[in-house]
A = this chain, B = another copy of it.
């Protein structure tokens, strides 16, 4: 299994956009060999700044992501964007407009956009999202943006793996304060109160600031205090301030050593995820094996329990493990 020598990898390495798109599909669909490809891609090095955007649906995240991408382009930087949307097609509407705006941005050859909604066959959306971000990074984009729709557990997990996480709120999202309690406060490096022309924007910004104050209690663990910005993404207002805040947070990350700490935590989490996904895959291989149907019948009839049968299967797996799906080192 040496996909590093394959044509796709060579094209990916040369910067061929179609090869990137195909590599992402490979990873998204977990085509056999995808982990070897990722291993090779990660060997090309990592230099991207990764910025995550999350917040309640309808907060205008796509608009803000587009604005940040445009600003980066104006500064001559290429940008890779991943939009993760696990919600059903029923939810959209407002979204569609944002996506169309994003599609305009996609006409710029300096911007690469991919959206994903499906879960991989194993390991879920978070694993696949992180692997696609790695591909965008390895491909060479100096700036990689990831946007998640909504504030579910998985979505917070994904946005939280970025170097900098931007939480976008809007005045009328009545749930925002509650949502903040559900983990947003913990992952936010920067808050943006979007659609700031609407009533209640300043009040919301004050509330967030207050919560931060109550919670933070001075420069304890971190010397970074998340700014709360006002913006109107649609009109481009507040985007310059957001770019400055992103830059300031970047500098903080590097100077404080926090970047290194986050990358280490991310690496550890990734190793754990890869190990667990692979073991689950191996277990499913074993469970496909002969005699399983009869054994499960014994559970129903009462001769075995799920625990005694699971014990046997794990012994089977340890004794004659199925072929591994991740590459040998080196």
A residues sitting closer than 8 Å to B (CB atoms) are: 35-36, 38-39, 42-43, 45-46, 88, 90, 178, 181-182, 260, 263-264, 267-268, 270-276, 278-280, 282-284, 287, 296-297, 299-300, 302, 304-314, 317-318, 321, 324, 326-330
Q: Given A38-B307, A42-B305, A327-B308, does the pair A275, B313 have CB atoms closer than 8 Å?
A: yes
Cβ-defined contact, B272 with A287, below 8 A: yes
Q: Given A311-B328, A327-B307, A328-B311, does the pair A275, B287 have CB atoms closer than 8 Å?
A: yes
Cβ-defined contact, B271 with A299, below 8 A: yes
Once bound together, how far apart are the Cα atoms of A175 and B233, in whole Å?
Answer: 29
Once bound together, how far apart are the Cα atoms of A304 and B273, in whole Å?
Answer: 16
Cβ-defined contact, B329 with A311, below 8 A: yes
Cβ-defined contact, A300 with B264, below 8 A: yes
Q: Given A90-B181, A283-B276, A309-B271, does the pair A326, B314 have CB atoms closer than 8 Å?
A: yes
Chain A interface, >50% SS class: helix
Once bound together, how far apart are the Cα atoms of A271 and B225, in whole Å?
Answer: 47
Q: Which residues of B sit under 8 angstroms from A273, Cβ to Cβ? A: 306
Distance between A186 CB and nearest chain B CB, rounded to angstroms: 14
Cβ-defined contact, A296 with B312, below 8 A: no
Cβ-defined contact, B287 with A271, below 8 A: yes
Cβ-defined contact, B274 with A310, below 8 A: yes
Cβ-defined contact, B90 with A313, below 8 A: no
Q: Which of B297, B311, B317, B327 contacts A327 (CB 8 A)?
A: B311
Cβ-defined contact, A314 with B275, below 8 A: yes
Once bound together, how far apart are the Cα atoms of A191 and B88, in whole Å?
Answer: 23
Cβ-defined contact, B302 with A36, below 8 A: no
Instruction: Provide a sorted-by-A list of 11 A–B residue pairs whose CB atoms are within 8 angstroms.
Output: A36-B307, A38-B307, A90-B178, A267-B296, A268-B296, A270-B306, A271-B299, A271-B313, A272-B287, A308-B330, A314-B326
